Amino acid sequence: MRILFVAMVGSIHTARWINQISSQGYDIHIFPSYYSGVHPELKNATVHDRPVRSAFADISVKQRYSLPWPFQSSADLANKVFCRLRHVELARFSVPQHQRLARLIDKLKPDIIHSHEMQAAGYLTLDARKNCRSEFPPWIMSIWGSDLFLFSRLDDHVNKIKNVLSLCDYLGSECQRDISLAKSLGFKNEMLPCLPMFGGFQLDKLVKLREPGPISGRKLIVLKGYHGWAGRSLVGLRALELCAEKLKGYKVVIPMADASVKLASELFTSKTGIPTEIIPPCSNEDILKIYGRARLSIGLSISDGLPASFAESLVMGSFPIQSCTACANEWIEDGKSGLIVPPEDPEPIAEAIRLALTDNKLVNGAAVLNMSMAQERLDFQLIQPKVIEIYENIIKGRN
């Protein structure tokens, strides 16, 4: 079976999904939906259309280059030479990305095309489909995060989304909310089972990364650090400031913080005396260890699907406080295994933080419930065979 993924090659979510099938003997190819380094966890795949070699890629990953060069062994050197000739206007010789993808589809003739994420990969695949000369194979479109929930409400995107949904053969999603949205936007083909787009967790290994003892004994608070078009971590900092009297003895850690959040965290510490730590880019295992030491985790955004950070908090025992604009309500019981809050109002978020910091029975009980949920819906050993079955069933249907 030959599968061509159109996806973010630098994303750990892409790597984890593909690694679920990389040991099955499939011929796996990836066309980048945008350019970045190849994620080091990606295994047993061929990455196409790379301008230069990604030095940190796993040895099992083959890299093919975008420059039309007759000898693959010297393509890397040729790319570097041409990239240094900055005075030459190479852009006029370039081929648009969707046409390069179309050429690759015609050349590879994959059995399945699988696009991960709508706004880059989905639109790109849609444009490539119009330029393919060969028969277009069965097309899976997997919804990530805000693909439908936010972008389908924007004038510049709604028609493109409808076009993708009208032409893709299968649709993957993480929650029932997106299934309903897709149907309302015109999708009429086959819905795949709801599965996390970042794949499953090796729960037996992750449990060993958790700090021993009750969750109520932990002294860390994790605040997801995004603040931009969707993330609202500055609102989270304001909420923490409103309940600063309950934070004595705790430390706030902020992964993935941008410049505005770093600045606000310094001002927060200066005003309240509560220490904060900005977590620089690090391995996913290090992030999981942080969640494994946290009493509670706060994730706020105006739109999301199933946030990986939310799932990681469930697995690592950290009590989740999650904005109502994600799919958290399909995973936890509000007030029992977590708390669901509005993303832009610091007052109710502060009340949720106070409750999570003062009710030991709540956070300890939630950790038990959430681990049970993780075993049922996030375990790699359960998700992997479901993913394999998706591809096998599509091929059987095609044959």
In a shared domain, residues 232 and 105: no
In a shared domain, residues 210 and 84: no
Q: What is the DSSP string of 239-297?
A: HHHHTGGG-TT-EEEEET--HHHHHHHHHHHHHH---EEEEPS--HHHHHHHHTTEEEE
In a shared domain, residues 188 and 39: yes
Angle of helix 346-358 relative to helix 360-377, nearest 10 degrees?
A: 100
In a shared domain, residues 246 and 268: yes
Total domains, the chain: 2
In a shared domain, residues 70 and 98: yes
In a shared domain, residues 59 and 114: yes
In a shared domain, residues 303 and 386: no
Predicted confidence pLDDT, tens digits, the chain (399 residues): 999 999 999 999 999 999 999 999 999 999 999 888 899 999 999 999 876 677 788 899 999 875 544 444 554 555 555 555 443 444 434 689 999 999 999 999 999 999 999 999 999 999 999 999 999 999 999 999 999 999 999 999 999 999 999 999 999 999 999 999 999 999 999 999 999 999 999 999 999 999 999 999 999 999 998 888 889 999 999 999 999 999 999 999 999 898 999 999 999 999 999 999 999 888 889 999 999 999 999 999 999 999 999 999 999 999 999 999 999 999 999 999 999 999 999 999 999 999 999 999 999 999 999 999 999 999 999 999 999 999 999 998 876
In a shared domain, residues 245 and 268: yes
Q: What is the CATH number of the domain that holds 284?
A: 3.40.50.2000
Q: Can you give the pTM of this predicted structure? A: 0.90
Sheet holding 190-191, edge to edge: 62-65, 46-50, 27-32, 2-7, 112-116, 139-142, 170-172, 190-191
> Contact, 356 vs 243, CB < 8 A?
no
In a shared domain, residues 194 and 46: yes
pLDDT value of position 226 = 83
In a shared domain, residues 225 and 257: yes
In a shared domain, residues 95 and 162: yes
With H, G, I as helix, E, B as strand and everything else as coil, classify residue 117: coil
Domain span at residue 362 reads 203-377
Residues 6+ apart with CB under 8 A from 237: 223, 261, 264, 265, 268
In a shared domain, residues 196 and 270: no
